[in-house]
């Protein structure tokens, strides 16, 4: 179809338009930030602290909630049970609701008056206005990316390989860790990366749980609201560049294996 | 010893019904049936991958019907091999060994030993995706043998292989069987069954319709299905003696003393010969022809077969000969009559 030059031209034009739509605002942001502004922003302790907090909080969310999410993905991939469709729908819920609403919902669960909030305070963990709350908010809105990717990954692993491993005398645990998990590795890594990325960019839910300590999306908002575009832009440019570097590296690392099978 | 007692399984519209079998430690059973007859389902029930609705499986006297897959000591080689694609050949073979207490050196040595036995020692550092069908089959066998099963289940192990690879793999299967393992070999190829197994079971629509030795099943089919399915009557286990090598002639010693001449350049000392029943001529006296195989015998049975008739002649072993009704009437062929049977060496097919 694309060999027809008229059709090809239309598709090329529309594709270019969409790519421009994605790239132009970001390119504009990078180009409108001068070298001295980059250096100044990188030297700003508040910016550095917020970036560190954002990266670590999102990572903590991935590690803590990902451990439980991967077995759930496996169950969803392998078992049929009443209400499975409903559970799959529930998993997508954090993606489709407004994130400020998600923040309100989480606040109800981790506020100081709640059971979890009180238990956290007793253990010295502060959710509202604390890093723990940021971790929960980031994980809440980003966990569907991991669960869906991991479920697709496990579904792509032939069940027969697991049965073959059981037949060879392996325990169900060993089968999971040596067959299912390695073969779904690529999709799981993609899911983990997407979850982390989505956590990094979260603003709506985080700002309701914890305005302080300030994650970078909140800092960008605060600088924009208080000082205007020219103060917020360098922080946004530095943060986006950093994220681009990290994800490019992660993509490259994930690209070294396909479907968990080592390439020769 | 493996016993199946009245095993029944229901899978959607398919039913495996009332299957009973008894196999000794050194038995090699060929489970024959067309696609969809229930062969693979039966293997999966034995391996514990499917739970029977009723019936019992006994292994060496112990009821293993409800036992976990990994504790059954029944190894299954799938038709698609199910090699782990992310592990090298050596790691695939070592997979079952990691469940056993042994040092890394012992494990590596065992992997090399199994690989040597299966003829895949040179492939140890390869990934399954780079192996040919025959190589993959050998690796899958070596891996299953590493789990040291009492019973080996093979799901169509020779399908999709060319003739040369089949011959090599058949020899490997014989060696494995000679180690004292009970083997159940699923196939839809009666030649495979005849040349490997000492017992044959034919399955049709989820039911075992006949079991016995290959000779019993193929020469005395109890149902039309078995008769049509097997299609082979004159199949004999034999010992090969070298004959006139210049002319490419060999002699197969059948039934202890009957010497059947055939053409071939094989070097094996044991195998099977098959003579198509249509290629045998029946006569009242010896024929002066170029055919080298002529034997005297007496008729044991005469019966209708399709549009013609079949005559069973006892001449040291039982030959089945296809003849027309007119010939039966003209020659007055009836049980007890002395006759001669003649066939060419080129009509004899030798199978390893």
Q: Taking residues B101-106, what's their average pLDDT?
A: 91
What does the pLDDT read at residue B352? 63
Mean pLDDT lowest among A3-12, A17-26, B315-324: A3-12
d(CA B265, CA B130) in angstroms, rounded, equals 33
pLDDT score recorded for residue B115 = 95
Residue A262 pLDDT: 41
Domain boundaries along the sequence of chain B = 2-232, 236-346
Q: What is the mean pLDDT of residues B1-26?
A: 91
Domains and CATH numbers, chain A: 44-262 (1.10.3720.10)
Q: Which of B68, B70, B184 to mutate against chain A (most A CBs within 10 Å)?
A: B70
Pairing of strands B2-11, B281-283: unpaired
Q: Is A179 on the interface with B (CB under 8 A)?
A: yes
Using 50, 70 and 90 to split pLDDT, how confident is the model at B20? very high
Q: What is the mean pLDDT of chain A?
A: 91
Q: Closest chain B residue to A260 measured between Cα atoms?
A: B86
pLDDT exceeds 70 at position A171: yes
Q: How far is CA B161 from CA B79, B132, B134, B164, in A?
A: 12, 10, 6, 8
What is the percent of chain A where pLDDT is above 70? 95
What tens digit of pLDDT does each residue of A188-243 get? Answer: 999 999 999 999 999 999 999 999 999 999 999 999 999 999 999 999 999 999 99
pLDDT of residue B165: 80
How many residue contacts between A and B have a Cβ separation below 8 Å?
Answer: 68
pLDDT of amino acid A72:
95
Residue A51 has pLDDT above 90, yes or no: yes
What pLDDT score was predicted for residue A264? Answer: 34
B chain contacts of residue A174, beta-carbon cutoff 8 Å: 98-99
In the structure, how many helices (H) and strands (E) does chain A have?
Answer: 14, 2
CB-based contact (8 Å) between A256 and chain B? no
| CATH architecture of the domain with range B236-346 | Beta Barrel (2.40)
Residue in B74, B98, B127 nearest the CB of A264: B127
Tens of pLDDT along B200-214?
999 989 999 899 988
Q: At residue B338, does pLDDT exceed 90?
A: yes
Q: How far apart are CA A150 and CA A170, in angstroms?
A: 23
Structure ipTM: 0.81
Residue whose token pair is 């004899």: B348
Residue B8: is its pLDDT beyond 60? yes
DSSP letter at B69 equals G
For residue B50, which residues of chain A lie inside 8 Å, CB to CB? none
pLDDT at B244 over 50: yes
Q: Is the pLDDT of residue A125 over 50?
A: yes
Report the pLDDT value the prediction gives residue A263, as an integer from 0 to 100: 38
Assess whether pLDDT exceeds 70 at residue B70: yes
| Beta-carbon separation of B86 and A260 below 8 A | yes
pLDDT above 90 coverage of chain B, percent = 54
Answer yes or no: is pLDDT of B227 > 80.
Answer: no
A127 contacts: CB under 8 Å, gap ≥ 6? A110, A111, A116, A117, A120, A133, A136, A209
Of A191, A181, A177, the residue nearest A91 (C-alpha): A191
Q: Which pLDDT score, from 0 to 100, does residue A1 have? A: 66
Q: What is the mean pLDDT of residues A65-89?
A: 93
Angle, helices A185-200 vs A229-254, to 10°: value is 170
Name the strand (E) or helix (H) holding B39.
Answer: helix B39-47
Residues of A in contact with B96 (CB under 8 A): 168-170
Q: pLDDT (tens digit, 9 = 90+) per residue, B114-173?
A: 999 999 999 999 999 999 988 999 999 999 999 999 999 999 988 877 777 888 888 889
The CATH code for residues B2-232 is 3.40.50.300
pLDDT at A93 over 80: yes
* A182 contacts B147? CB cut-off 8 A: no
pLDDT reading at A261 higher than 50:
no
Report whether pLDDT(B246) > 70.
no
């Amino acid at each position: 179809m694309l060999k027809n030059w008229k059709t090809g031209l239309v598709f090329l034009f529309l594709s270019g338009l969409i790519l421009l739509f994605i790239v132009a605002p970001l390119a504009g942001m990078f180009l409108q930030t001068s070298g001295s502004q980059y250096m100044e922003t990188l030297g700003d302790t508040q910016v550095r602290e917020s970036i560190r907090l954002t990266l670590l909080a999102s990572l903590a969310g991935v590690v803590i909630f990902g451990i439980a999410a991967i077995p759930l993905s496996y169950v969803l991939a392998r078992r049929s049970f009443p209400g499975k469709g409903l559970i799959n729908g529930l998993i997508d819920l954090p993606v489709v609701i407004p994130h400020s609403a998600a923040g309100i919902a989480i606040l109800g669960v981790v506020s100081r008056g709640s059971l979890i909030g009180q238990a956290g305070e007793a253990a010295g963990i502060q959710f509202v206005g604390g890093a723990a709350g940021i971790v929960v908010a980031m994980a809440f809105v980003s966990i569907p990316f991991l669960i869906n990717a991991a479920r697709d990954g496990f579904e792509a692993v032939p069940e027969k390989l697991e049965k073959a491993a059981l037949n060879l005398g392996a325990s169900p645990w060993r089968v999971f860790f040596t067959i299912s998990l390695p073969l779904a590795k690529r999709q799981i890594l993609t899911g983990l990366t997407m979850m982390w990325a989505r956590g990094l960019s979260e603003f709506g839910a985080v700002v309701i749980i914890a305005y302080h300590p300030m994650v970078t999306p909140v800092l960008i908002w605060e600088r924009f609201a208080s000082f205007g575009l020219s103060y917020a832009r360098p922080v946004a440019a530095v943060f986006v560049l950093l994220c681009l570097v990290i994800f490019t590296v992660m993509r490259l690392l994930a690209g070294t294996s396909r479907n968990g099978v080592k390439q020769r | 010893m493996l016993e199946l007692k009245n095993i029944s399984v229901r899978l959607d519209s398919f039913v495996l019904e009332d299957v009973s079998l008894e196999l000794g430690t050194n038995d090699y059973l060929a489970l024959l049936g067309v696609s969809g007859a229930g062969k693979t389902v039966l293997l999966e029930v034995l391996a514990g991958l499917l739970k029977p609705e009723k019936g019992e499986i006994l292994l060496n006297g112990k009821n293993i019907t409800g036992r976990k897959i990994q504790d059954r000591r029944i190894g299954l080689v799938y038709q698609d091999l199910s090699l782990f694609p992310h592990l090298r050949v050596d790691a695939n073979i070592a997979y079952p060994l990691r469940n056993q207490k042994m040092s890394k050196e012992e494990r590596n040595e065992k992997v090399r030993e199994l690989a040597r036995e299966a003829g895949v020692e040179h492939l140890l550092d390869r990934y399954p995706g780079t192996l040919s069908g025959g190589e993959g089959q050998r690796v899958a066998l070596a891996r299953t043998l590493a789990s040291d099963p009492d019973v080996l289940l093979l799901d169509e192990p020779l399908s999709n292989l060319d003739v040369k690879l089949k011959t090599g793999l058949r020899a490997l299967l014989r060696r494995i069987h000679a180690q004292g393992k009970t083997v159940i070999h699923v196939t839809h190829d009666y030649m495979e069954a005849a040349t490997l197994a000492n017992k044959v079971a034919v399955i049709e629509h989820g039911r075992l319709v006949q079991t016995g030795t290959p000779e019993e099943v193929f020469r005395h089919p109890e149902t039309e299905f078995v008769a049509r399915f097997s299609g082979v009557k004159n199949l004999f286990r034999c010992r090969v003696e070298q004959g006139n090598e210049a002319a490419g002639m060999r002699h197969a010693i059948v039934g202890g003393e009957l010497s059947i001449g055939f053409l071939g350049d094989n070097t094996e000392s044991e195998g099977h010969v098959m003579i198509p029943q249509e290629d045998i001529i029946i006569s009242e006296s010896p024929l002066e022809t170029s055919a080298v195989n002529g034997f005297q015998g007496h008729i044991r049975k005469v019966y209708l077969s399709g549009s013609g008739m079949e005559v069973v002649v006892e001449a040291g072993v039982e030959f089945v000969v296809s003849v027309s009704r007119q010939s039966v009437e003209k020659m007055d062929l009836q049980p007890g009559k002395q006759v001669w049977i003649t066939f060419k060496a080129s009509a004899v097919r030798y199978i390893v």
